[in-house]
Amino acid sequence: MKSAVIVFPASNCDRDAQTALKQLTGKDPHMVWHQDSALPDVDLVVLPGGFSYGDYLRCGAMASQSSVMKAVKAHAEKGGAVVGICNGFQVLTETHMLPGALMRNADLKFVCRPVKLTVEETQSAFTRKYSKGQQISIPVAHGEGNYFADEETLNRLEGENRVAFRYAQGDNPNGSARNIAGILNEKRNVLGLMPHPERVVDPLLGGEDGKALFQSLIETLS
Protein backbone atom coordinates (compact mmCIF):
# COMPACT_ATOMS: atom_id res chain seq x y z
CA MET A 1 0.00 0.00 0.00
CA LYS A 2 1.36 3.37 -1.03
CA SER A 3 0.40 6.31 1.17
CA ALA A 4 0.74 10.06 1.61
CA VAL A 5 0.39 12.31 4.65
CA ILE A 6 -0.66 15.91 4.05
CA VAL A 7 1.34 18.46 6.04
CA PHE A 8 -0.38 21.74 6.90
CA PRO A 9 1.14 24.66 8.81
CA ALA A 10 0.83 23.72 12.53
CA SER A 11 0.06 20.06 11.89
CA ASN A 12 1.55 18.22 14.88
CA CYS A 13 0.46 14.63 14.29
CA ASP A 14 1.83 14.25 10.77
CA ARG A 15 4.96 12.56 12.13
CA ASP A 16 2.85 10.21 14.24
CA ALA A 17 0.99 9.15 11.09
CA GLN A 18 4.29 8.84 9.19
CA THR A 19 5.78 6.60 11.89
CA ALA A 20 2.70 4.37 12.11
CA LEU A 21 2.50 3.93 8.33
CA LYS A 22 6.20 3.16 7.98
CA GLN A 23 6.09 0.66 10.83
CA LEU A 24 3.06 -1.19 9.48
CA THR A 25 3.69 -1.02 5.73
CA GLY A 26 7.47 -1.09 5.69
CA LYS A 27 7.43 1.91 3.36
CA ASP A 28 7.95 5.61 4.00
CA PRO A 29 4.76 7.54 3.19
CA HIS A 30 5.05 10.60 0.98
CA MET A 31 4.94 13.78 3.07
CA VAL A 32 2.97 16.22 0.91
CA TRP A 33 3.07 19.97 1.63
CA HIS A 34 -0.31 21.73 1.67
CA GLN A 35 0.67 24.09 -1.15
CA ASP A 36 1.38 21.25 -3.58
CA SER A 37 -1.22 20.99 -6.30
CA ALA A 38 -0.84 17.28 -7.02
CA LEU A 39 -0.54 14.02 -5.16
CA PRO A 40 1.96 11.27 -5.87
CA ASP A 41 0.61 7.91 -7.05
CA VAL A 42 -0.80 6.56 -3.78
CA ASP A 43 -3.62 4.36 -2.49
CA LEU A 44 -4.22 6.19 0.80
CA VAL A 45 -4.17 9.86 1.80
CA VAL A 46 -4.02 10.79 5.49
CA LEU A 47 -5.14 14.19 6.76
CA PRO A 48 -3.44 14.26 10.16
CA GLY A 49 -4.31 15.78 13.49
CA GLY A 50 -2.97 19.04 14.84
CA PHE A 51 -3.98 22.67 14.65
CA SER A 52 -3.76 23.58 10.97
CA TYR A 53 -3.31 27.32 10.50
CA GLY A 54 -3.60 27.70 14.27
CA ASP A 55 -7.32 26.81 14.13
CA TYR A 56 -8.12 30.39 13.09
CA LEU A 57 -11.65 31.08 11.78
CA ARG A 58 -12.85 27.53 12.47
CA CYS A 59 -10.88 24.33 12.94
CA GLY A 60 -10.00 23.03 9.48
CA ALA A 61 -11.59 25.97 7.64
CA MET A 62 -8.38 27.48 6.28
CA ALA A 63 -6.80 24.08 5.59
CA SER A 64 -9.84 23.16 3.50
CA GLN A 65 -8.83 25.92 1.06
CA SER A 66 -5.27 24.64 0.60
CA SER A 67 -4.14 23.87 -2.94
CA VAL A 68 -3.63 20.20 -2.19
CA MET A 69 -7.25 19.65 -1.18
CA LYS A 70 -8.43 19.75 -4.81
CA ALA A 71 -6.14 16.79 -5.46
CA VAL A 72 -7.39 15.03 -2.30
CA LYS A 73 -10.99 15.46 -3.44
CA ALA A 74 -10.12 14.14 -6.90
CA HIS A 75 -8.36 11.16 -5.32
CA ALA A 76 -11.49 10.33 -3.30
CA GLU A 77 -13.79 10.84 -6.29
CA LYS A 78 -11.75 8.25 -8.20
CA GLY A 79 -12.24 5.78 -5.33
CA GLY A 80 -8.97 6.38 -3.49
CA ALA A 81 -8.99 6.02 0.29
CA VAL A 82 -8.81 9.08 2.54
CA VAL A 83 -8.72 9.13 6.33
CA GLY A 84 -8.97 12.34 8.35
CA ILE A 85 -7.88 12.09 11.98
CA CYS A 86 -8.91 14.74 14.52
CA ASN A 87 -8.09 18.02 12.71
CA GLY A 88 -8.21 15.96 9.52
CA PHE A 89 -11.82 15.07 10.29
CA GLN A 90 -12.56 18.77 10.73
CA VAL A 91 -10.98 19.46 7.33
CA LEU A 92 -13.15 16.77 5.72
CA THR A 93 -16.33 18.38 7.04
CA GLU A 94 -15.17 21.84 5.95
CA THR A 95 -14.58 20.54 2.41
CA HIS A 96 -17.97 18.77 2.52
CA MET A 97 -16.32 15.45 1.85
CA LEU A 98 -18.16 14.36 4.98
CA PRO A 99 -21.41 15.80 6.38
CA GLY A 100 -21.84 17.68 9.63
CA ALA A 101 -19.49 19.85 11.66
CA LEU A 102 -17.15 19.62 14.63
CA MET A 103 -17.92 22.18 17.33
CA ARG A 104 -16.42 23.16 20.68
CA ASN A 105 -16.49 20.41 23.25
CA ALA A 106 -19.64 20.56 25.34
CA ASP A 107 -17.72 21.50 28.51
CA LEU A 108 -15.55 24.00 26.58
CA LYS A 109 -12.39 22.22 27.78
CA PHE A 110 -9.58 20.56 25.85
CA VAL A 111 -9.63 16.81 26.47
CA CYS A 112 -6.60 14.53 26.17
CA ARG A 113 -7.04 10.94 27.34
CA PRO A 114 -7.83 7.42 26.14
CA VAL A 115 -11.52 6.82 25.43
CA LYS A 116 -13.48 3.63 24.91
CA LEU A 117 -14.98 3.18 21.45
CA THR A 118 -17.42 0.69 20.01
CA VAL A 119 -16.81 -0.50 16.47
CA GLU A 120 -20.15 0.02 14.75
CA GLU A 121 -19.38 -0.90 11.14
CA THR A 122 -16.92 -3.45 9.75
CA GLN A 123 -17.96 -3.34 6.08
CA SER A 124 -15.36 -0.80 5.01
CA ALA A 125 -11.73 -0.68 3.97
CA PHE A 126 -10.92 0.96 7.31
CA THR A 127 -12.63 -1.41 9.74
CA ARG A 128 -12.72 -4.91 8.23
CA LYS A 129 -10.09 -6.24 10.69
CA TYR A 130 -12.26 -5.27 13.67
CA SER A 131 -15.32 -7.16 14.89
CA LYS A 132 -18.72 -5.48 14.99
CA GLY A 133 -19.44 -4.38 18.55
CA GLN A 134 -15.77 -4.68 19.56
CA GLN A 135 -14.68 -2.30 22.31
CA ILE A 136 -11.35 -0.61 21.78
CA SER A 137 -9.36 2.13 23.55
CA ILE A 138 -8.03 5.01 21.45
CA PRO A 139 -6.70 8.36 22.74
CA VAL A 140 -8.30 11.70 21.92
CA ALA A 141 -6.73 15.16 22.07
CA HIS A 142 -9.02 17.98 20.99
CA GLY A 143 -11.00 21.03 22.01
CA GLU A 144 -13.44 20.95 19.09
CA GLY A 145 -14.58 17.36 18.66
CA ASN A 146 -18.30 17.74 19.31
CA TYR A 147 -19.86 16.21 16.19
CA PHE A 148 -23.08 17.91 15.07
CA ALA A 149 -25.47 17.32 12.19
CA ASP A 150 -29.20 17.84 11.71
CA GLU A 151 -31.57 15.00 12.51
CA GLU A 152 -32.09 14.10 8.85
CA THR A 153 -28.33 13.72 8.32
CA LEU A 154 -27.90 11.73 11.54
CA ASN A 155 -30.73 9.40 10.58
CA ARG A 156 -29.22 8.92 7.12
CA LEU A 157 -25.80 8.10 8.60
CA GLU A 158 -27.39 5.56 10.91
CA GLY A 159 -29.66 4.09 8.23
CA GLU A 160 -26.79 3.67 5.76
CA ASN A 161 -24.47 2.13 8.39
CA ARG A 162 -21.99 4.96 7.99
CA VAL A 163 -21.24 5.45 11.69
CA ALA A 164 -17.91 3.62 11.89
CA PHE A 165 -17.05 4.28 15.54
CA ARG A 166 -19.08 5.42 18.52
CA TYR A 167 -17.98 6.54 21.96
CA ALA A 168 -18.91 3.83 24.44
CA GLN A 169 -21.81 4.58 26.75
CA GLY A 170 -20.65 6.98 29.45
CA ASP A 171 -17.35 7.81 27.73
CA ASN A 172 -18.34 10.58 25.31
CA PRO A 173 -15.57 13.18 25.85
CA ASN A 174 -17.08 16.05 23.87
CA GLY A 175 -20.88 15.85 23.66
CA SER A 176 -21.00 14.47 20.10
CA ALA A 177 -24.49 13.74 18.78
CA ARG A 178 -25.43 10.09 19.24
CA ASN A 179 -21.94 9.44 20.65
CA ILE A 180 -20.49 9.55 17.12
CA ALA A 181 -16.70 9.29 16.98
CA GLY A 182 -16.16 8.50 13.29
CA ILE A 183 -18.18 8.41 10.07
CA LEU A 184 -17.88 7.22 6.46
CA ASN A 185 -18.89 8.92 3.24
CA GLU A 186 -21.48 7.43 0.90
CA LYS A 187 -18.88 5.57 -1.17
CA ARG A 188 -17.28 4.30 2.07
CA ASN A 189 -13.78 5.26 0.93
CA VAL A 190 -13.47 8.34 3.17
CA LEU A 191 -13.33 8.07 6.96
CA GLY A 192 -13.21 10.89 9.49
CA LEU A 193 -12.69 10.24 13.20
CA MET A 194 -11.66 12.32 16.18
CA PRO A 195 -9.66 9.66 18.12
CA HIS A 196 -6.03 9.00 17.14
CA PRO A 197 -5.48 5.39 15.98
CA GLU A 198 -1.95 6.22 14.83
CA ARG A 199 -0.96 6.68 18.48
CA VAL A 200 -1.81 3.12 19.49
CA VAL A 201 -0.14 0.80 16.99
CA ASP A 202 2.63 -0.49 19.27
CA PRO A 203 2.66 -1.80 22.88
CA LEU A 204 5.50 0.63 23.60
CA LEU A 205 3.02 3.45 22.92
CA GLY A 206 0.52 2.07 25.42
CA GLY A 207 -1.67 -0.08 23.19
CA GLU A 208 -2.35 -1.58 19.78
CA ASP A 209 -6.08 -0.93 19.32
CA GLY A 210 -5.45 1.41 16.39
CA LYS A 211 -3.39 -1.15 14.51
CA ALA A 212 -6.38 -2.95 12.96
CA LEU A 213 -7.47 0.22 11.15
CA PHE A 214 -4.19 0.39 9.25
CA GLN A 215 -4.08 -3.39 8.78
CA SER A 216 -7.56 -3.19 7.25
CA LEU A 217 -6.32 -0.62 4.75
CA ILE A 218 -3.18 -2.60 3.95
CA GLU A 219 -5.21 -5.76 3.31
CA THR A 220 -7.72 -3.91 1.13
CA LEU A 221 -5.40 -1.64 -0.83
CA SER A 222 -2.26 -3.73 -1.30
pLDDT for 141-175, tens place per residue?
999 999 999 999 999 999 999 999 999 999 999 99
pTM over 0.75: yes
Residue 1 has pLDDT above 90, yes or no: yes
We find that the CATH architecture of domain 3-103+151-162+182-221 is 3-Layer(aba) Sandwich (3.40)
The Cβ of residue 219 has, within 10 Å, a number of other Cβ atoms equal to 13
Cα–Cα distance, 171 to 66 (Å, whole number)? 34
Supply the mean pLDDT for the chain. 96
Return the pLDDT at 27: 96
pLDDT tier for residue 28 given thresholds of 50, 70 and 90: very high
> pLDDT tens digits for 37-92?
999 999 999 999 998 888 777 888 889 999 999 999 999 999 999 999 999 999 99
Comparing C-alpha atoms, which of 220, 213, 216, 203 is closest to residue 181?
213
What are the residue ranges spanned by the domains of the chain?
Answer: 3-103+151-162+182-221
* Residues involved in catalysis: 86, 196, 198
